[in-house]
Amino acid sequence: MSAREFNRREFGAGLAGILVAFSMAPSLSPAAETGRGLPGMLAANRRLDAWLRIDPLGTVTVYTGRVELGQGNITALAQIVAEELDVALERVRMIPVDTMRSPNEGTTAGSNSIEAGGAALRAAAAEARAIVLKRAGERLMAPADTLIVNDGIIIARNAPGRISYWELAGEISLQQDATGSVAPKPPAEHKLVGTAAQRLDIPGKVAGEPMYVHDMRLPGMVFGRVVRPPSPNAQLMSVDQASVAAMPGVIRVVRDGRFLGVVAEREEQAIAAREALAKAARWQMPSDLPDPARVHEHLKGLKGIETETVNEKIGPAPAPVKTHAATYRKPYLAHASIGPSCAVAGLVDNVWTVWSHTQGPYPLRGDLAKVARVPVERVRVIHSQGAGCYGHNGADDVALDALLMSVATQGRIIKVQWMRDDEFGWEPFGSAMEMSVRAGLDADGAVVDWQYDVWTCPHNMRPGNPRGMNLLAAGHLAMPFARPKPVEAALPGGGGDRNAVPCYEFPKQAIVDHFITEMPLRTSALRTLGGFGNVFAHESFMDELAHLAGADPVEFRLKHLKDERGRAVVEAAAKKAGWQKGALSDGIRGRGVAYSRYETIKAYVAVVVDVAVDRASGQVKVERVTAAVDSGQIINTDGLTNQIEGGIIQGVSWTLKEAVKFDRQKITTRDWASYPILTFSEVPAVDVVLIDRPEQRSLGSGEASQGPTPAAIANAIFHATGARLRDLPFTPDRVKAAIQRG
Amino acid sequence: MPLYRLNVNGETRQATAEAETPLLYVLRNDLELNGPKFGCGLGQCGSCTVLVDGQPQRSCRVPVSSVGDKPVTTLEGLGSRDSLHALQKAFIDEQAMQCGYCINGMIMSAKALLDRNKQPDEAAIRAALEGNLCRCGSHNRIVRAIARAAKEMAG
């Protein structure tokens, strides 16, 4: 069905297809102040036909501003539209974001696709349905509220005749603004929402169809590769371009400042030229990276730390009878996509056209236009899938690389893919962090005072920042663009302080964010931003306090947790796992629990982890993870399970194995041997309990299970061995040392 | 550049490339196959896996000149959307992926496994995939899909 059609159209039809698409572009209405009250970005893009069209041939075409990153959101959005219109899911064609025709929904991030993107589409679809039914009522001579729709066929309850959406497509117009006056279907009537509808893109992926930007082949397309500096701040002293330019198939050697690239007829020729150009370049490398042995001390000593109390409660609270303090650390982490970043760029019909797996086609377009020094209308970004990114990886940067090479070759269509070492060496990492907690317990074993400090580098340096430019190559040009001064995002989403505010009720608390504006290693958004570090610290420390109070970890959490939905996920996970109060460990096997509500306003997740620890080697095996999640109304049950399960497994990998390695000069993580991730034999069994609340609005879930995972593992190791792990990752050496310390 | 005649997915295909060109680029760019993916170029991740003479090989590390007339099978050679192989179908039934970039390697490695062991237990499946990396955390679904395909193929 539709996935194959869009492939042919997007890829196979090549340039002809692109030109057709230009004339199809809907006219987006300007942001209207009167759009207030409409959900999501429907308020800024009110025209209904900017979101969906009803086609005479029996399909519904949907324009979303959200992109598929492998998380299945596009299928869930299609379900929402099909549900609201009462058509079969197979009729819905989801158009990948194209800045020439799709609504601008900014960046697909922060687990927002369903909450915000879904709400916008649901409202637009409900209005479209009302417009069609009004016309159908006239044709069938029946009141609109007596009409029944079944897969687009409309009949009246008390009148003869039938008519379809497809017959009416030419008689109605969606060239009108959303009014906000049509109520969507009540959840009790949902038939498709809340089911495990199969992903639209999986059949094409298992059959080897061209589903990714990496699979694009356009007429005349050639291949590019980049030669990055050997270290973040290396300066290019000299480079012999001529010898490389003479190599077989080489079309162009591109140099602008310390940006180096090669363009060749064949991909392997570009790779060979890249190796030769790297050898032909002489660099000066300063030793200006932090000492990896004391990176957190280094970061805390940097200038330009902005300290702010982001949340405070001042009591009253009884004086503590016991106090406790602990400090936790997280290393730099890599997104480590399986597929290195890739983009295709070229001059098409006098428009610089870039196919990219970016999370934010519109913000990327703006930045590309700035670097190319052309009006934004002369840049078009079209989303095409990539490998899972888990945040801001090299996707945007390689798009600029491809554009720069296309500019240098008078607009040739060039596919650029980063090599594995480009990806590890140059993707923006998730920041190293340090978290310190001090708390007091009263005589009843309740937390009466919670003081929290987090030190963090920036977690959001995405494209689209009006105060500067963070695309990698833009900073390497002879006339470089300056990076924007980092700004910490406001809570509740936050950045490094995401989830720094506890999900528990404490009478007195102070949450202090020490925002490090310098970036010795370039950092940006990695799944959960600061949430992984903060929830790790919170939920480890809650366990330490429970131990101090002589309380059961589940009961201790419930004692401080007032939110009924939060309590329900903790209880559900504990029940499913068969949690036993006071269960003793045999010294090898242990069990831990952790809980958080993502961003303090999104999905609720609790996890129970079972580990086995080899005391001699320090090797930890996570054997089983049991999770419970409440995401409000579930759109796709299997999609939600997949996200929760995937987040847990990735979280186990981060917790046990991962840290970006570097020395004083350069990043030394360059391949999978220097950045090992969890493998099949190490992956735990994962059991996910879904708590569906159809009457509650959907809550963002894509990142929700990652935060509790490391703490539950630390708590399970403590239960097994009595050793408390506070520095991520929990490598065998660290675990062994902690056990030996006792 | 020499001309190579390759036996790919049961057909004789021709490509002109330097001898040391990795098979991966010939398959992707000259023969326009999408299944095998570039993941690392180092033989570490398995995204580029194809079968050469029935054996799973990292096509990023196989020079085209070494293939000769040995049959090469890619993901496309297993089946198309209209005639899916039991493994492809099982990956759909189990929704065994998130992004799917690694899935070519998973299915091709599984094909090689099932060719030599028709009823692998879970440990055997995990062992066969130990060298294939997945970043989305779809491992357990992938294992279930392979077990399901094995069961269906056994009839």
Give me the helices (H) in B34-138, please.
Answer: 75-78, 86-93, 103-116, 122-128
Cis-peptide, bond into residue A316, ω within 30° of zero? yes
Residue of B nearest to A681 (CA): B126
CA A534, CA A596: separation in Å to the nearest integer? 10
Chain A hits for B44, CB-CB cut-off 8 Å, are 420, 671-673
Which residue has tokens 């025209």?
A47
Instruction: Tell me which residue in B17, B101, B130 faces A387 most closely, judged by beta carbons.
Output: B101
Determine whether the interchain pair B39/A336 forms a contact, defined as Cβ–Cβ distance below 8 Å. Answer: no
Chain B hits for A73, CB-CB cut-off 8 Å, are none
Structure tokens at A490: 């406001």
Instruction: Tell me which residue in A215, A643, A681 faces B127 most closely, judged by beta carbons.
Output: A681
Whether the per-residue pLDDT at A172 is higher than 80: the answer is yes
Residue of A nearest to B137 (CA): A646
Q: What 3-state class would DSSP assign to A146?
A: helix
CA B52, CA A37: separation in Å to the nearest integer? 60
Residue of B nearest to A647 (CA): B137
Phi, psi of A280 (to 5 degrees): -85, -5
What are the beta bridge partners of residue A430? A333
Structure tokens at A730: 């929990």
Determine whether the interchain pair B92/A4 forms a contact, defined as Cβ–Cβ distance below 8 Å. Answer: no
Structure tokens at A633: 């109304």
Span A197-252, pLDDT tens digits? 999 999 999 999 999 999 999 999 999 999 999 999 999 999 999 999 999 999 99
CB-count exposure of residue B153 (10 Å: 0-12, 13-18, 19+):
middle
CA A275, CA A280: separation in Å to the nearest integer? 9
CA distance B106 to chain A (A): 10
Determine whether the interchain pair B39/A205 forms a contact, defined as Cβ–Cβ distance below 8 Å. Answer: no
Among residues B46, B37, B41, B148, the alpha carbon closest in space to that of A679 is found at B46
Length of chain B as a residue count: 155
Determine whether the interchain pair A340/B139 forms a contact, defined as Cβ–Cβ distance below 8 Å. Answer: no
Determine whether the interchain pair B127/A673 forms a contact, defined as Cβ–Cβ distance below 8 Å. Answer: no
User: How much is the pLDDT for A380?
Assistant: 98
Terminal Cα-to-Cα distance of chain B (whole angstroms): 48
- Amino acid type, A407: V
Whether the per-residue pLDDT at A15 is higher than 50: the answer is no
User: How much is the pLDDT for A141?
Assistant: 96
CA distance B71 to chain A (A): 18
Q: What 3-state class would DSSP assign to A212?
A: strand
CA A414, CA B93: separation in Å to the nearest integer? 37
Determine whether the interchain pair B137/A648 forms a contact, defined as Cβ–Cβ distance below 8 Å. Answer: yes
Mean pLDDT throughout B40-54?
Answer: 98
Determine whether the interchain pair B76/A207 forms a contact, defined as Cβ–Cβ distance below 8 Å. Answer: yes
Chain A hits for B92, CB-CB cut-off 8 Å, are 198, 202-203, 206
If phi over 0 gives left and psi between -120 and 50 gives alpha, with beta otherwise, what is residue A110?
A: left
Residue of B nearest to A3 (CA): B81
Q: What is the CB neighbour count within 10 angstroms for residue A281?
A: 21
Mean pLDDT throughout A95-116?
Answer: 92
The CA-atom distances, in angstroms, between B15 and each of A12, A170, A551, B8 are 21, 50, 70, 11
Mean pLDDT throughout A81-94?
Answer: 98
Span A467-515, pLDDT tens digits? 999 999 999 999 999 999 999 999 999 999 999 999 999 999 999 999 9
Whether the per-residue pLDDT at A6 is higher than 60: the answer is no
Confidence class of residue A424 from pLDDT cuts 50, 70 and 90? very high
CA A390, CA B135: separation in Å to the nearest integer? 9
Q: What is the CB neighbour count within 10 angstroms for residue A518?
A: 12
The CA-atom distances, in angstroms, between B149 and each of A606, B14, B76, B81 are 33, 33, 17, 16
Residue of A nearest to B106 (CA): A206
Quote the radius of gyration of chain A (alpha carbons, Å): 27
Chain B hits for A211, CB-CB cut-off 8 Å, are 34, 100
Confidence class of residue B15 from pLDDT cuts 50, 70 and 90? very high
What pTM, to 2 d.p., does this model score?
Answer: 0.95
Whether the per-residue pLDDT at A29 is higher than 50: the answer is no
Span A448-475, pLDDT tens digits? 999 999 999 999 999 999 999 999 999 9
The CA-atom distances, in angstroms, between A627 and each of A252, A535, A647, B70 are 53, 15, 11, 48
Residue of B nearest to A334 (CA): B135
Q: How much helix, strand and coil, in percent to the nearest 5, is found in chain A? A: 35, 25, 40
A249 vs B: CB within 8 A:
no
Determine whether the interchain pair A339/B40 forms a contact, defined as Cβ–Cβ distance below 8 Å. Answer: no
Among A26-35, A691-700, B120-129, which is the least confidently predicted range? A26-35
A607 vs B: CB within 8 A:
no
User: How much is the pLDDT for A742?
Assistant: 78
ipTM value? 0.99
User: How much is the pLDDT for A1?
Assistant: 31
Buried b / exposed e across A94-121, counting CB within 10 Å, b at 16+? bbbbbbbbbbbbbbbbbbbbbbbbbbbb
Among A8-12, A429-433, A633-637, which is the least confidently predicted range? A8-12
Mutation pick from A74, A206, A341, A656 vs chain B, by most beta carbons of B within 10 Å, is A206
Span A554-588, pLDDT tens digits? 999 999 999 999 999 999 999 999 999 999 999 99
Among residues A201, A242, A402, the alpha carbon closest in space to that of B100 is found at A201
CA B76, CA A452: separation in Å to the nearest integer? 54
Chain B hits for A271, CB-CB cut-off 8 Å, are 41
Confidence class of residue A35 from pLDDT cuts 50, 70 and 90? low
Determine whether the interchain pair B37/A390 forms a contact, defined as Cβ–Cβ distance below 8 Å. Answer: no
Determine whether the interchain pair B135/A4 forms a contact, defined as Cβ–Cβ distance below 8 Å. Answer: no
User: How much is the pLDDT for A510?
Assistant: 98
Write the DSSP assignment of A702-732 as a string of letters: TTTTTTHHHHHHHHHHHHHHS----BSS--H
Chain B hits for A419, CB-CB cut-off 8 Å, are 41
Confidence class of residue B155 from pLDDT cuts 50, 70 and 90? confident
Mean pLDDT throughout B34-56?
Answer: 98
Which residue has tokens 């039934």?
B93
Whether the per-residue pLDDT at A25 is higher than 60: the answer is no
Residues of A numbered 261-280 whose beta carbons fall under 8 angstroms of chain B's beta carbons: which are they? Answer: 266-268, 271
A343 vs B: CB within 8 A:
no
**Which helix (H) or strand (E) element contains residue A366?**
helix A361-372
Span A329-354, pLDDT tens digits? 999 999 999 999 999 999 999 999 99
CA A368, CA A15: separation in Å to the nearest integer? 21
Span A140-156, pLDDT tens digits? 999 999 999 999 999 99
A648 vs B: CB within 8 A:
yes
Quote the radius of gyration of chain B (alpha carbons, Å): 15
Mean pLDDT throughout A723-739?
Answer: 98
Phi, psi of A388 (to 5 degrees): -50, 140
User: How much is the pLDDT for A3?
Assistant: 35
Identify whether the C-beta of residue A475 lies closer than 8 Å to the C-beta of residue A483: yes
Structure tokens at A550: 């002589």
Give the rounded distance of the alpha carbon of A96 from its chain centre.
17
CA distance B69 to chain A (A): 22
Write the DSSP assignment of A239-270 as a string of letters: E-HHHHHTSTTEEEEEEETTEEEEEESSHHHH
CA distance A48 to chain B (A): 30
- Amino acid type, B13: R
What are the beta bridge partners of residue A381? A354
User: How much is the pLDDT for A111?
Assistant: 80
Among residues A218, A205, A85, the alpha carbon closest in space to that of A149 is found at A85
Instruction: Tell me which residue in A210, A648, A673 faces B44 most closely, judged by beta carbons.
Output: A673
A219 vs B: CB within 8 A:
no
Give the rounded distance of the alpha carbon of B4 from its chain centre.
21
User: How much is the pLDDT for A36?
Assistant: 58
Chain B hits for A388, CB-CB cut-off 8 Å, are 98-99, 101, 135-136
Name the average pLDDT for chain A: 94
Identify whether the C-beta of residue A501 lies closer than 8 Å to the C-beta of residue A311: yes
